[in-house]
Amino acid sequence: MEENVKLEKENCPVSPSVDSDQQDNEERALSVFASEKNEDLTALVLVLIVTFFVLLFTKWLA
Partner 1 sequence: MASSDLGRPSNVPVWILSGLLLLYGALVASGALTPMLKALHVHKQVDLMEILGFTFGGIGILTAMLRSTRMNKPMTNLDTFVLETIPGILFIVMLAMGIRWIAEPIVVMMSKSLVPVLGFKIHKVLNLNYVVLGILVGIIITNSWGIPKFAASGVKTARFVLKMGVILLGARYSFAELAKLGMVSVWMIGFFVLGTVFFVLFLGKVFKQPKSMTGVLSAGMGVCGVSATVACAPVVKARCSEMAYTIGTILGFGILCMFAFPTIGKIVGMNATQFGAWAGTGILNSAQVAAACLAFNAVDIKTLKVGEIFNITRVLFLPIIVLVLASWYGKAAGQKLSFKEVVIDKFPIFIIGFLLLFAMSSFGLFSPPGHYKGKYLDFSYNQRTEVTPEELVVLKNAKLEGLTPEEQAAYNDLVKQHQIAGNFEDRDNKDMFDATARKRMAGLESILAREKGKEITISSDVKSAVKHAVKQVHKKSKTIVTLTDAMVWFFAYGLIGLGMQITRKSIAQAGGWPLVMGAISGVTKATLSFIVVMYFVKDVVLK
What is the secondary structure of 5-62 as a DSSP string? HHHHHHHS---HHHHHHHHHHHHH---SSSSHHHHHHHHHHHHHHHHHHHHIIIII--
Q: In whole angstroms, how close is the CB of 36 to partner 1 at the nearest point?
A: 6
Q: Which of residues 2-31 bind partner 1 (CB under 8 A)?
A: 2-4, 7-8, 10-12, 27-31
Q: Determine which residue in the list 16, 17, 59, 61 makes contact with partner 1, applying CB under 8 A.
A: 59
Q: Is 46 in the site for partner 1 (CB under 8 A)?
A: yes
Q: Give the nearer residue to partner 1 in terms of CB position, either 21 or 36.
A: 36
